[in-house]
């Protein structure tokens, strides 16, 4: 085992000290430790394990779980192309190839001089300004051949990232339609003041009257969640803002955190007031790390204004503060119990529920986990009252919804609509034409075909966390479904067999069809796998994984059928080619040394 | 009116890249063999020494697919058997023989025929009588469509008996509990 240089040891010890040698901080410690050398050498993991008193396997297990933690060198420039279907539609594969050619490297392999590696990553939440990439964690959008040429040159010159043109890192909000939330101009603290004036119970009653439901997609009643945590025994209680916006095609939280961070943090404080919580976490996905400095600045400003800390707004006993925890590239951490595991410094494996986090969450304490948008919405309720909020939207879906619109349309971006808006209206507003399909709710959501565009965005019809990806008549919906299947296979946490194996098998079948080996029998097997994933998986990732295939098989079946080369069965590989090596080794080329690919040919 | 006694079902069996352990386990159904022969008759099988498969109701395949001959036999079974069953771990997953899959074929063959201790001037056999090995050992469902899978190394006699009696009685075969439990 290599010995760590003393300077590295000093940096590590400094990081460990800042995190008070807490094992719950392991993920944060690893993220920071990785900054030292750009990756996590074995000796670094050993040092951290010893310092935290953790088994080394536990530390390596965490380091191996998260996509953005590297236990192998990845180069001084780590380039990750966002690989959502919307990036693919904008030509990310061609750009990735172009960059690799210019840098003389193979995709996925570190250059021989250890300078650079280029590969893909899951959706980075820049679908409205793709194709996008992350360079050493910094987001760059609107990639073009010109920009790729410039980036190749900057890397070759080994120019530090800080000296790259600032416009590369310019991320636009692209807000196209404002309604109640995005149109709100609220001085920080106003909503909190209103809620405090109502008292804790009065404020919770307003929340109950509002009928606010979770904006993360599941639509659980927020007030019920808050009341459960309030009434649960155990302290100190915890408020978590789930900003692990990993659902492909979703980027509304990016915009809220970029330009409405005060509303989000105020919402967390409002939740803390109702629940009686004293500790808050914002769990920020690693892809949005570039937002960290400005978010920390907002927190500092709110602390200085007496909106965080002890005795908030002069209320004795209203003590609440917020810490930001970074994720490191794991979609499954958007699931609330996996997120809590991650907050505790572990692998993001979803827990068995019940018990639900409201009774046993972070470190076994009552914990409220709310979506970014949900929390921001609570400011509207505090300011305008629950009844007024409940009067907007539809009967079962009060208020507005932010839609993250991307794909084939003239004006991708953020659109805020009252619940109940029909798909057709949204398509018209964003300038979509010849629309073949819309994927609502991201990879795990629902694929709507043209005959369903009269349907409405609402929990009672088409529920969504906000992703809205548009595919026009030129797109092949099989490719769309296959991209999502690849996504789920990559993001499966590996804990339960149905999901770990099932997503991988499903990927195998989709690739078999894509490679021109498809057969009718595969469609039957895909059906069977869809059911298995849906019914046997441990968490929502596995049970949602077949959704894109189920929907497209039902609504765009010809896209699959045209790929079939046999109406019965077809191997996924070329049998004669499988004998080639043996032919070469034996020098044989007689008829017995060959196999026909199709059985009928050899009868 | 007397209904005619039901036709006996024709059953064929073969071992491809297997060890005949599944066939031995099949024989382990012991006295059930007497009941079985009342219900079935064997076509091609190591038990009958019939060389080619004729039209059958049920085909049982032990072992994975490791060479060209395996492919021919398996395809012949698929053509002739209404129901084709993967019997045991090797047929289901490739099993033990598939452990060579992470070693390049050339390395495997050279190690055995050229470099092994005691081998002098050895060469890789090239007689056309010998079937050529595939680059990888495959489970049978990667080469033909398979209707049922009986896991186990080997599946126990009772598991095979349960499976066959289900099939003969017209029930969708289903193994559960102890019949799927291995120590």
Does residue B33 sit within a domain?
yes
User: In CATH, what is the architecture of A400-475?
Assistant: Roll (3.10)
What is the domain class of A6-65 according to CATH? mainly alpha
Does residue B124 sit within a domain?
no
Find chain B residues with C-beta within 8 A of A529's C-beta: none
Mean pLDDT of A163-184: 96
pLDDT digits (tens, 9 = 90+) for A426-436: 999 999 999 99
Residue A316, number of CB atoms within 10 A of its CB: 8
> How many CB pairs lie under 8 A apart between chains A and B?
59
Of B68, B136, B143, the CB nearest to A592: B68
pLDDT at A170: 95
Of B68, B128, B145, the CB nearest to A569: B145
- Across all residues in chain A, what is the average pLDDT? 96
pLDDT at B181: 72
pLDDT of residue B182 exceeding 80, the answer is: no
Mean pLDDT of A294-310: 97
pLDDT at B49: 86
DSSP structure string for A221-257: BHHHHHHHHHHSS-SSEEEEEEE---STT--HHHHHH
pLDDT at A190: 97
Vertex A190: Cα angle to A184 and A194 (nearest 5): 115
Find chain A residues with C-beta within 8 A of B142's C-beta: 571-573
Closest CA–CA distance from residue B122 to any residue of chain A (Å): 13
pLDDT digits (tens, 9 = 90+) for A398-425: 999 999 999 999 999 999 999 999 999 9
pLDDT at A348: 96
pLDDT digits (tens, 9 = 90+) for A320-331: 999 999 999 999
Does the distance separating the beta carbons of B128 and A582 come in below 8 Å? no
Please choose, from the candidates A516, A511, A510, the residue with its C-alpha nearest in 3D space to the C-alpha of residue A530. A510
Q: How far does CA A393 lie from the centroid of its chain?
A: 27
Q: Which long-range contacts (CB under 8 A, 24 or more apart) does B69-74 make?
A: B69/B131, B70/B16, B70/B17, B70/B131, B70/B134, B71/A575, B71/A595, B71/B134, B71/B143, B72/A602, B73/B14, B73/B16, B74/B14, B74/B16, B74/B140, B74/B143, B74/B144
pLDDT at A217: 82
Chain region(s) in chain A for CATH 1.10.10: 6-65
Does the distance separating the beta carbons of A580 and B128 come in below 8 Å? no
pLDDT of residue B2 exceeding 90, the answer is: no
Vertex A341: Cα angle to A340 and A346 (nearest 5): 145
Mean pLDDT of A166-190: 96
Q: Which of A501, A509, A574, A595 should be substituted to probe chain B, the one whose Cβ sees the most B Cβ atoms within 10 Å? A: A595
Find chain A residues with C-beta within 8 A of B143's C-beta: 571, 575
CA A489, A492, A494, A496 torsion-angle sign: negative
Does residue B123 sit within a domain?
no
CA distance linking residue A147 with residue A90, whole number of Å = 14
Find chain B residues with C-beta within 8 A of A580's C-beta: 135
> Among residues of chain B, what percentage have pLDDT more than 90?
83
pLDDT digits (tens, 9 = 90+) for A243-290: 999 999 999 999 999 999 999 999 999 999 999 999 999 999 999 999
Does the distance separating the beta carbons of B126 and A575 come in below 8 Å? no
Closest CA–CA distance from residue B134 to any residue of chain A (Å): 5
- Across all residues in chain B, what is the average pLDDT? 93
CA distance linking residue A61 with residue A341, whole number of Å = 13
CATH number at residue B77: 3.40.50.700
Does the distance separating the beta carbons of B105 and A573 come in below 8 Å? no
Question: HSE (CB half, 13 Å, CA atoms) of B100?
Answer: 21
Q: Which of B79, B84, B128, B132 should be substituted to probe chain A, the one whose Cβ sees the most A Cβ atoms within 10 Å? A: B132
Q: What are phi and psi of A536, to 5 degrees?
A: -110, -5
pLDDT band at residue A235 under the 50/70/90 scheme: confident
Does residue B119 sit within a domain?
no
CA distance linking residue A464 with residue A442, whole number of Å = 8
pLDDT digits (tens, 9 = 90+) for A124-168: 999 999 999 999 999 999 999 999 999 999 999 999 999 999 999
Does residue B127 sit within a domain?
no
pLDDT digits (tens, 9 = 90+) for B10-25: 999 999 999 999 999 9
| DSSP E strands, A62-140 | 77-82, 116-121, 133-135, 138-140
What residue of A is the nearest CA neighbor of B126?
Answer: A586
pLDDT of residue B6 exceeding 80, the answer is: no
Find chain B residues with C-beta within 8 A of A583's C-beta: 132
Residues contacting A570, CB < 8 A, separation 6+: A517, A518, A519, A521, A522
Find chain A residues with C-beta within 8 A of B70's C-beta: none
Does the distance separating the beta carbons of A599 and B78 come in below 8 Å? yes
Does the distance separating the beta carbons of B126 and A572 come in below 8 Å? no
Find chain A residues with C-beta within 8 A of B53's C-beta: none
Chain region(s) in chain A for CATH 3.10.20.600: 400-475
Chain region(s) in chain A for CATH 1.20.1440.230: 478-566
Does the distance separating the beta carbons of A592 and B109 come in below 8 Å? no
Closest CA–CA distance from residue B136 to any residue of chain A (Å): 7
pLDDT digits (tens, 9 = 90+) for A525-550: 999 999 999 999 999 999 999 999 99
Find chain A residues with C-beta within 8 A of B135's C-beta: 578-582
Using left for φ > 0, alpha for ψ between -120 and 50, and beta otherwise, residue A349 falls in beta
Mean pLDDT of A214-220: 90
pLDDT band at residue A600 under the 50/70/90 scheme: low
Please tell me the total count of domains within chain B: 1
Mean pLDDT of B108-112: 93
Does residue B66 sit within a domain?
yes
Find chain B residues with C-beta within 8 A of A571's C-beta: 142-143
Segments forming the whole domain that contains residue B142: 9-97+135-173
Does the distance separating the beta carbons of B143 and A575 come in below 8 Å? yes
Does residue B111 sit within a domain?
no
Burial per residue of A242-259, b for 16 or more beta-carbon CB atoms within 10 angstroms, e otherwise:
bbbbbbbbbbbbbbbbbe
Burial per residue of B81-98, b for 16 or more beta-carbon CB atoms within 10 angstroms, e otherwise:
bebbbbbbbbbbbbbbbb
Of B79, B125, B142, the CB nearest to A572: B142
Do residues A312 and A318 make contact, with C-beta atoms less than 8 angstroms apart? yes
pLDDT digits (tens, 9 = 90+) for A23-47: 999 999 999 999 999 999 999 999 9
pLDDT of residue A601 exceeding 60, the answer is: no
Closest CA–CA distance from residue B145 to any residue of chain A (Å): 6
Does the distance separating the beta carbons of B71 and A575 come in below 8 Å? yes
Closest CA–CA distance from residue B3 to any residue of chain A (Å): 36
Find chain B residues with C-beta within 8 A of A569's C-beta: 144-145
The three-state (H, E, C) secondary structure of A263-317, written as one string:
HHHHHHHHHHHHHCEEEEEEEECHHHHHHHHHHHHHHHHHHHCCCCECCHHHCCC
What is the domain class of A79-167 according to CATH? alpha beta
Find chain B residues with C-beta within 8 A of A568's C-beta: 145
Instruction: Determine the straight-line distance between the first and last CA of chain B, rounded to whole angstroms.
Output: 52
Q: Which of B77, B114, B140, B145 should be substituted to probe chain A, the one whose Cβ sees the most A Cβ atoms within 10 Å? A: B145
ipTM of the complex: 0.91
Q: A478-566 adopts what CATH topology? A: de novo design (two linked rop proteins) (1.20.1440)
pLDDT band at residue A603 under the 50/70/90 scheme: very low
What residue of B is the nearest CA neighbor of A588?
Answer: B126
Find chain B residues with C-beta within 8 A of A582's C-beta: 105, 109, 132-135
Q: Which of A511, A521, A525, A578 should be substituted to probe chain B, the one whose Cβ sees the most B Cβ atoms within 10 Å? A: A578
Does the distance separating the beta carbons of A572 and B134 come in below 8 Å? no
What residue of A is the nearest CA neighbor of B68?
Answer: A595
Burial per residue of A401-416, b for 16 or more beta-carbon CB atoms within 10 angstroms, e otherwise:
bbbbbbbbbeebbbbb
Closest CA–CA distance from residue B154 to any residue of chain A (Å): 23
Q: A177-390 adopts what CATH topology? A: Rossmann fold (3.40.50)
Chain region(s) in chain A for CATH 3.40.30.10: 79-167
Reduce the DSSP state of residue A109 to 3 states and report it: coil
Closest CA–CA distance from residue A601 to any residue of chain B (Å): 12
């Amino acid at each position: 085992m290599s010995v760590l240089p003393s300077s590295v040891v000093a940096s590590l010890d400094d990081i460990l000290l800042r995190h008070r040698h807490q094992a719950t901080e392991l993920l944060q410690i690893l993220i920071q430790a990785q900054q030292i050398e750009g990756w996590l050498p074995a000796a670094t993991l050993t040092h951290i394990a010893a310092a935290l008193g953790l088994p080394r396997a536990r530390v390596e297990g965490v380091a191996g779980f998260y996509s953005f933690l590297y236990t192998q060198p990845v180069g001084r420039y780590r380039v990750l192309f966002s690989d959502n279907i919307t990036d693919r539609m904008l030509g990310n594969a061609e750009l990735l190839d172009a960059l690799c050619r210019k840098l003389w490297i193979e995709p996925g392999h570190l250059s021989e001089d250890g300078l650079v590696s280029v590969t893909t990553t899951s959706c980075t939440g820049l679908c409205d300004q793709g194709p996008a990439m992350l360079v050493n964690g910094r987001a760059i959008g609107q990639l073009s051949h010109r920009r790729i040429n410039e980036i190749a040159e900057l890397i070759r010159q080994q120019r530090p990232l800080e000296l790259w043109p600032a416009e590369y890192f310019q991320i636009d909000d692209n807000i196209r339609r404002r309604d109640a939330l995005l149109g709100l101009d609220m001085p920080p603290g106003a909503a909190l003041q209103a809620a405090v004036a109502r008292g804790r119970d009065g404020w919770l009653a307003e929340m109950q009257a509002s009928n606010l439901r979770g904006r993360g997609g599941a639509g659980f009643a927020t007030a019920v969640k808050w009341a459960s945590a309030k009434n649960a025994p155990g302290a100190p209680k915890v408020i978590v803002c789930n900003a692990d916006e990993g659902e492909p095609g979703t980027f509304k939280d990016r915009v809220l955190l970029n330009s409405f961070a005060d509303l989000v943090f105020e919402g967390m404080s409002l939740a803390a007031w109702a629940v009686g919580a004293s500790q808050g976490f914002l769990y920020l996905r690693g892809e949005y790390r570039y937002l960290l400095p400005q978010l920390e600045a907002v927190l500092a400003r709110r602390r200085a204004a007496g909106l965080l800390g002890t005795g908030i707004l002069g209320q004795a006993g209203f003590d609440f503060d917020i810490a930001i925890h970074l994720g490191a590239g794991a979609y499954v951490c958007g699931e609330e119990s996996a997120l809590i595991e991650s907050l505790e410094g572990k692998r993001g494996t979803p827990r068995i529920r019940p018990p639900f986090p409201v009774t046993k969450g972070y470190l076994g304490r009552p914990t409220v986990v709310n979506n970014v948008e949900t929390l921001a919405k609570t400011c509207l309720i505090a300011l305008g009252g629950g009844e007024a909020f409940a009067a907007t939207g539809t009967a079962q879906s009060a208020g507005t919804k932010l839609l993250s619109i991307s794909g084939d349309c003239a004006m991708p971006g953020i659109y805020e609509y009252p619940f109940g808006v029909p798909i057709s209206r949204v398509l018209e507003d964003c300038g979509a034409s010849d629309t073949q399909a819309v994927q609502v709710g991201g990879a795990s959501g629902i694929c709507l075909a043209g005959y369903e565009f009269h349907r409405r965005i609402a929990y009672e019809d088409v529920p969504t966390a906000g992703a809205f990806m548009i595919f026009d008549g030129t797109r092949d919906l099989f490719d769309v479904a296959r991209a999502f299947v690849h996504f789920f296979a990559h993001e499966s946490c590996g804990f339960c067999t149905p999901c770990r194996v099932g997503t991988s098998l499903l990927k195998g079948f989709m690739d078999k069809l894509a490679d021109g080996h498809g057969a009718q029998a595969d469609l039957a097997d895909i059906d069977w796998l869809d059911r298995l994933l849906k019914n046997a998986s441990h968490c929502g990732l596995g049970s949602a994984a077949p959704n894109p295939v189920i929907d497209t098989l039902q609504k765009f079946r010809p896209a699959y059928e045209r790929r079939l080369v046999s109406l019965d069965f077809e191997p996924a590989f070329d049998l004669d080619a499988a004998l080639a090596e043996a032919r070469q080794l034996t020098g044989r080329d007689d008829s017995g040394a060959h196999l026909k690919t199709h059985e009928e040919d050899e009868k | 009116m007397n209904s005619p006694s039901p036709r006996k079902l024709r059953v064929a069996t073969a071992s491809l890249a297997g060890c005949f352990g599944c066939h031995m386990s099949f024989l382990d159904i012991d006295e059930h063999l007497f009941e079985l022969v009342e219900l079935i008759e064997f076509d091609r099988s190591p038990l009958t020494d019939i060389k080619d498969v004729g039209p059958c109701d049920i085909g049982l395949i032990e072992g994975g697919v490791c060479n060209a001959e395996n492919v021919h036999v398996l395809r012949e079974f698929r053509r002739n058997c209404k129901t084709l069953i993967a019997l045991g771990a090797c047929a289901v997953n490739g099993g033990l023989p598939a452990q060579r899959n992470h070693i390049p074929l050339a390395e495997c063959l050279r190690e055995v025929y050229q470099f092994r201790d005691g081998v002098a001037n050895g060469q890789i056999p090239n007689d056309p009588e010998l079937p050529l090995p595939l680059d990888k050992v495959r489970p049978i469902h990667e080469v033909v469509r398979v209707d049922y899978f009986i896991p186990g190394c080997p599946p126990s006699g009772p598991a095979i008996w349960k499976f066959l009696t289900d099939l003969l009685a017209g029930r969708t075969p289903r193994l559960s509990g102890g019949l799927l439990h291995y120590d």
